[in-house]
Amino acid sequence: MEFISPTKGKMSFDEVFEDILTFVSEHPEDQYSLIIGSDSQLRDETCFVTALIVHRASKGGRFYYTKNRQKFTRSLRQRIFYETSNSLVLASQLTAKLAETDHELNVEIHLDVGTNGKTKELIKEVVGMVTGSGFCAKIKPDSYGASSIADRFTK
């Protein structure tokens, strides 16, 4: 899986992980969260983006993202479930890697669903997928990892 950092360019998962640990180690007294959000955009093909954000409470953060394109189209329901699955896969990889270190970071998954619009019928199902996997789920308007950061790179 290849990530893109707006400041460092292309990075592997291991490089991203090391960069996150370095960032967290700079100010170990601060509170941090790892936020994962995915979004998609349907055009001639479907562009899926998953963003990984390391957020230092009240002091900013940094982010990385992956992008993949698929030729076949999917329904909105299929896209939302695929986005959620992409986020869960990355969250699982991160928690497995974190278990090998002495760092404890809260992992949140931001979902591109909300109480307004066409996705409201999917909230219960995708939030259940995330919480059933042991992660905290956020929906719009609190899911900026998906609806702002990942969304920006689907265009």
In which band, very low, low, confident or very high, does the pLDDT at 128 lie, cut at 50, 70 and 90?
very high
Helix axes 76-98 and 13-26, enclosed angle (nearest 10): 60
Element (H, E) at 10: strand 9-12
Mean pLDDT for 121-137 is: 97
Write the pLDDT tens digit of every residue in 35-90. Answer: 999 999 988 899 999 999 999 998 999 999 999 999 877 799 999 999 999 999 99
Block residue for tokens 């700079």: 26
Write the pLDDT tens digit of every residue in 5-40. Answer: 999 999 999 999 999 999 999 999 999 999 999 999
Q: What is the pLDDT of residue 73?
A: 73
CA distance 72 to 122: 22
Q: What is the pLDDT of residue 150?
A: 96
